[in-house]
Chains A and B, each alone.
Chain A
Amino acid sequence: MHKSGLPHDGHSAGEIDPSDEVTCQQLVELVTDYVEGALQPRTMNHVEEHLVVCDFCVTYVEQMRATIATLKGLEKHGSPEPPASALAALQARRAAGA
């Protein structure tokens, strides 16, 4: 795996070679797994070590968190009246059971 490349092991997107540190370019791909708590412990350690020393990545993660926070409740949902056909089918059941 190249130091500057992306993790290419498809089934363990949250893992990196434990002998490497995390680069910024890798971190921006790991950030979702990080925020979701889905990283392997070793990778999590590498990410947190990186965030101690890299203000730019701290900024990036903060921006990601702010994006997620702004999404919360962004769309409000109501629900319409249920379909008349379904209500009629229910009524037929009640009539049959009465």
Chain B
Amino acid sequence: MPAEHAIAGAPAAESDEQIVAALRAGDERTFRELFARSYPMMKRVARAYVASDAVAEEIVQDTWMAIVTGIERFEGRSALGTWMFSILTNQAKTHSARERRALPFSSVAPAGIEQPAVDPDRFQKDDEAWPGHWATPPRPWQKPERRLLSLEARDRLRQALAELPDRQRLIVGLRDVDGHSSEEVCDLLGISQENQRVLLHRGRSRLRAILDEYLEGSDA
């Protein structure tokens, strides 16, 4: 009996075991669903390693071939998603080594060492009346709910997101744009919660500053 009939009518939320069994049997429906579900995140991760969308797509396609051919070897010691993403990052590292780019997660500096969220000149210095308090405070955004819904504002933010450093773009994209949880992101990328938060913090801070400049017309 073809394997598809055994799987047909299975609930949408299949377990890893069910998915693996279906893939081993060559079930195309299961594969297509898994592919569609996983593709956006895989593309985003791959894109953090290489210089172009086209190369990122190539990496993802190669990864899927490796997943299908390698599914026999999957032993279930990790979650299926973790295994899939480790194949993806292996493929991405090979590609990016060919491009001679730095690996995105080879080092994440501890918090506070890189660029601060806000220019230190915006705060009072140690010799002023209230050290660490705002010297030039943020101006409230005028009608933000309406203005941030505009196509132009969204385009500006999209552009700013694309211009973030790779790792920040990846984490902000996965967490804030696509809505993945911090647990999911950390599990699949093999990074700590703190590392993930550091990148999220830097990315979000930068984007807030860019939106502030866009809405209020000067850097903040």
State whether A90 touches B211 (Cβ < 8 A): no
Cβ-based interface call for B125 (8 A): yes
Please name all residues of chain B whose beta carbon is closer than 8 Å to the beta carbon of A74 when the two chains form the complex: 154, 157-158, 161, 177
Give the interface SS of chain B, mostly helix, strand, loop or mixed.
Answer: helix
Q: Are B172 and A71 in contact (CB under 8 A)?
A: yes
Count residues on chain A whose CB falls below 8 Å from chain B CBs.
Answer: 57
Q: Is the CB of B198 within 8 A of A13?
A: yes
CA gap between A97 and B193 in the complex, in Å: 43
Q: Is the CB of A63 within 8 A of B138?
A: yes
- The B18-66 residues at the A interface (CB cut-off 8 A) are 23-28, 31-32, 35-36, 39-40, 43, 57, 61, 64-65
* Contact flag A4-B24 (CB < 8 Å), given A28-B117, A66-B144, A77-B43: no
- Does A31 belong to the interface (CB within 8 Å)? yes
- Complex contact B204–A64 (CB within 8 A): yes
Across the interface, name the chain B residue whose C-beta is closest to A7: B112
Interface assignment of B69: CB less than 8 Å from any CB of chain A: yes
Does A10 reach chain B (CB closer than 8 Å)?
yes
Closest beta carbon of chain A to B168's beta carbon, Å:
12
Question: Which stretch in B9-17, B79-87, B95-103, B128-136 binds the other chain?
Answer: B128-136
Question: Which B residues lie within 8 Å of A93 (CB)?
Answer: 24-26
Give 10 A-B contacts (CB < 8 Å), ordered by A residue: A11-B110, A26-B132, A54-B133, A63-B141, A67-B208, A72-B176, A83-B64, A86-B65, A87-B28, A92-B26
